Amino acid sequence: MKAGTFIRQFLAKDRRDVILRAPEWSDLDDMLEFINSLVEEGAEITVDTMMTREAEVDWLARYLSRVEKDEVVGVVAEADGRFVGQVQVSPKSGRSRHVGVLGIALRDGYRDVGIGTELMREAENQALRLGLELLTLEVYATNDRARHVYEKVGYREVGCVPGAALRDGEYIDSVIMVKEISK
């Protein structure tokens, strides 16, 4: 999908207009601030070190190139004229090329108004377009909100990796969830 392609628009539960679109180069500074704000707040994601602008430039260049070639799904949520979060689905390789690994996060201040649910639904549409059949994700067992959203849109828990993450000196289990999307 071409960078910046408009996908659709909806009204969030707080009446804010939200646009779903493909990522684009001008998201760079918002994305950098976003990832570092997640690290700062101690969000329940894997990344726990601040990203430099240089590293983000490299990452975004590679990411946009893969999105444009439909090698990966990338859907951005835009509200108040800025990037506020995104979902990504990265296909696995070889015999697992029909499997996509999903990751999602939203900026603090834009959560709990339905944007994550819409991003999850759009990720599925786009994954189907890429020919994927099964989506998988990992979520920390302590992340009740994320688990609720995933279950709501049809993911089921299939396993758990005990002590998969170490956060503030405490081990946290990682729950594996899947959704078949080809039927």
Ligand X SMILES: CC(C)(COP(=O)(O)OP(=O)(O)OC[C@H]1O[C@@H](n2cnc3c(N)ncnc32)[C@H](O)[C@@H]1OP(=O)(O)O)[C@@H](O)C(=O)NCCC(=O)NCCS
CB of 66 to ligand X, least distance (A): 21
Task: Give contact residues for ligand X (rule: CB under 6 A).
Answer: 43-45, 104-106, 111-117, 139, 143-146, 148-149, 152
CA angle 62, 150, 171 (to 5 degrees): 80
Nearer to ligand X, 29 or 144 (CB): 144
Q: Which is nearer to ligand X, 39 or 43 (CB)?
A: 43
What is the full DSSP assignment across 28-41? HHHHHHHHHHHHHH
Question: 80 vs 144, which CB is nearer to ligand X?
Answer: 144
Determine contact, residues 104/86, Cβ cutoff 8 Å.
yes
Task: For strands 134-140 and 99-106, give the pairing.
Answer: parallel
Q: Closest CB to ligand X belongs to which residue?
A: 116
Nearest distance in Å: CB 147, ligand X: 7
Sign of CA pseudo-dihedral 44, 50, 124, 23: positive
Taking the complex as a whole, the smallest distance from the CB of residue 28 to ligand X amounts, in Å, to 20
SS (HEC) of 101-166: EEEEEECCCCCCCCHHHHHHHHHHHHHHHCCCCEEEEEEECCCHHHHHHHHHCCCEEEEEEEEEEE
CB of 151 to ligand X, least distance (A): 9
Decide if 67 contacts 3 (C-beta within 8 A). yes
Please, which residue, 58 or 144, has the CB nearer to ligand X? 144
- From the CB of 152, what's the least distance to ligand X, in Å? 5
Closer residue to ligand X (CB): 99 or 105? 105
Q: At what angle do helices 144-152 and 115-129 cross, to 10 degrees?
A: 50
